[in-house]
Structure 1
Amino acid sequence: MKIVACYSNKGGVGKTATSVNIAHGLAKTGKRVLLCDLDPQGASGFYFRVKPSKKLTEDRFFTDVKRFTDAIRGSDFENLDILPANMAFRDFDVFLSRMKNSRSRLKKALASVDGDYDVILLDCPPNISVLSESVFKTADAILVPVIPTTLSERTFEQLLEFFAERDLPKKKILGFFSMVQGTKKLHAETAAAMRAAHPKRILDISVPFATDIEKMGVHRAPVAAFAPGSPAVAAYDALCGALAGRL
């Protein structure tokens, strides 16, 4: 079982859209996938029309195997299950900060479904916290969507610095460009500069700024389910292929 996190320390970069479409894309290839939503807003579950279990509180998530597994829901897509978030997840950091070996708690919780899935995909909240450190330690790969702008470039650099300061393996980080607009000169220049500066950390894949991605909220489904010919689907499929190769 491989654990993949979709993470960004900056909000509004397409993190949840990536999580949903990558989970669906991997499931299409025959992988057994669990999409685990760690963001209390619960957007991933919303896109899959899945209601959260209110009984899975922040403490039960890490300590109660039965509650954890009972909270998993099936989706409308073969090979794809969802563990939806609820508002209790906002207290993850408070709970983890009180526990010994907090950075290993997430891995222990996910071990309860080892053997049931080929890939667990974590949709993470956009901050650097105790939970984030646990994600960094647990994940085999960390997908980081980056809008090719100056501010997003800065936050990506901050993430790399955090990994260096904590002696975390930067090889886990797989950045890619998200919400790219081909008509914007700044996007092209920033993307080229970042690829040159971080050739091993930035994948040569760009997800376009697309209306079809915005329509996911209307259709409550991955893009491939309602617009299979969209350029966004091709980009997400390429991202799935690159991720599978790295894993």
Structure 2
Amino acid sequence: MKVIACYSMKGGVGKTATAVNLAYFAAKSGLKTLLIDLDPQGASSFYFRVKPSSKKWAERFFNAYESLVKHIKASDYENLDIIPAHLSFRNFDALLADLKNRKNRLKRVLKGFKQEYDLVILDCPPSIGYLSESIFIASDLVLVPVIPTTLSERTFEQLITFFEDNIYQLKKIVPFFSMVQWQKSLHKATIESMVARYKVFLNTTIPYSSDIEKMGEHKAPVDVFASSTQANAAYMKLWTEVSEAHL
């Protein structure tokens, strides 16, 4: 079983759209896939029409594998299950602060799924803290969408520095450019500069597209309602590149 975290310290970069579309294509390719929505906003759960439990249960999330199993819900798609987010997940950092061996808690809990799933995808909140560190340790791959702008470049540099300062495995970080508008000179210049500085960027870029924005309207991955679009082709290519090179 492999674990992919769709993560960014910055919000609004296409992280959840990536998690949703990759989970969909992974399941479509035949992999038994579990998407865990760790973001208390619950956007990826919403896209898959999966509602969270009405009861708070964040305080039991890191206790044991059995605590998570009862919250697994089937999606509308074969091979794809969801653990939906709950607003109480916003307290994860505070909860982890009081736990022993907190950095390894998520990894320990996820091990319970290895007999049932080929792939676990984590949709992560845009923050840096105890939860993020637990995610970095639990994941085989930290997939980072980067908008080609100065601020996003700075945020990516901060993530690299955080990994270096805390002696996490830099090879886990796999960035790609998201919400790209090739007609913008800033986007072109930033991509050229960052690709030259960092040799780890994926070849695939995700375009800025209204079709991706319409995922909320349709409550579905792009392939379901706009299969012939450039955006869907980009997500298909992203899944192919990630799966062939890193899984």
TM-score (norm 1): 0.97
| Residue of structure 1 equivalent to 2:10 | 10
Return the alpha-carbon distance in structure 2 between the equivalents of residues 216 and 153 of structure 1: 26
Letter in 2 for 1:112: G
Letter in 2 for 1:219: H
Does the 8 Å contact 2:32/2:118 carry over to 1?
A: yes
Does the 8 Å contact 2:65/2:113 carry over to 1?
A: no
The structural deviation recorded for 1:67 is 3.3
Tell me the alpha carbon deviations over residues 84-116 of structure 1, each in whole angstroms, 9 at most, x when there is no partner: 000111111111011111010001111222211
User: Is 2:245 the partner of 1:241?
Assistant: no
Return the alpha-carbon distance in structure 2 between the equivalents of residues 4 and 233 of structure 1: 20
Does the 8 Å contact 1:57/1:88 carry over to 2?
A: yes
Tell me the alpha carbon deviations over residues 135-172 of structure 1, each in whole angstroms, 9 at most, x when there is no partner: 00110001000000000000000000000000111100
Letter in 2 for 1:125: P
Instruction: Tell me whether 234-243 or 55-64 shows the greater mean CA deviation.
Output: 55-64
The structural deviation recorded for 1:66 is 3.1
The structural deviation recorded for 1:222 is 0.2
Matches within 5 A, 1:157-168: 157-168=157-168
Letter in 1 for 2:10: K
Return the alpha-carbon distance in structure 2 between the equivalents of residues 59 and 109 of structure 1: 14
The structural deviation recorded for 1:235 is 1.1
Does the 8 Å contact 2:65/2:110 carry over to 1?
A: no
Return the alpha-carbon distance in structure 2 between the equivalents of residues 238 and 163 of structure 1: 28
Unaligned runs of 5+ in 2: none
The structural deviation recorded for 1:56 is 5.7
Return the alpha-carbon distance in structure 2 between the equivalents of residues 64 and 87 of structure 1: 20
| Residue of structure 2 equivalent to 1:203 | 202
Unaligned runs of 5+ in 1: none
Tell me the alpha carbon deviations over residues 59-80 of structure 1, each in whole angstroms, 9 at most, x when there is no partner: 2111143331010100011111
Return the alpha-carbon distance in structure 2 between the equivalents of residues 210 and 110 of structure 1: 34
Does the 8 Å contact 1:148/1:190 carry over to 2?
A: yes
TM-score (norm 2): 0.97
Return the alpha-carbon distance in structure 2 between the equivalents of residues 47 and 71 of structure 1: 17
Tell me the alpha carbon deviations over residues 210-234 of structure 1, each in whole angstroms, 9 at most, x when there is no partner: 1100000000000001100111111
Return the alpha-carbon distance in structure 1 between the equivalents of residues 53 and 236 of structure 2: 30
| Residue of structure 1 equivalent to 2:227 | 228
Return the alpha-carbon distance in structure 2 between the equivalents of residues 242 and 115 of structure 1: 25
Return the alpha-carbon distance in structure 2 between the equivalents of residues 230 and 80 of structure 1: 23
Letter in 1 for 2:241: A
| Residue of structure 1 equivalent to 2:91 | 91
SS in 2 for 1:207: strand
Does the 8 Å contact 2:32/2:117 carry over to 1?
A: yes
The structural deviation recorded for 1:25 is 1.1
Q: Structure 2 vs 1, CA of residues 106 and 21 (structure 1 numbering), >3 Å: closer, same or farther?
A: same
Matches within 5 A, 1:142-153: 142-153=142-153
User: Is 2:139 the partner of 1:103?
Assistant: no
Instruction: Tell me whether 236-245 or 87-96 shows the greater mean CA deviation.
Output: 236-245
Letter in 1 for 2:49: R
User: Is 2:82 the partner of 1:82?
Assistant: yes
Return the alpha-carbon distance in structure 2 between the equivalents of residues 156 and 225 of structure 1: 31
| Residue of structure 1 equivalent to 2:216 | 217
Return the alpha-carbon distance in structure 1 between the equivalents of residues 138 and 56 of structure 2: 21
Matches within 5 A, 1:17-32: 17-32=17-32
Does the 8 Å contact 2:58/2:86 carry over to 1?
A: no
Letter in 2 for 1:226: F
Return the alpha-carbon distance in structure 1 between the equivalents of residues 13 and 156 of structure 2: 12
The structural deviation recorded for 1:24 is 0.4
SS in 2 for 1:177: strand
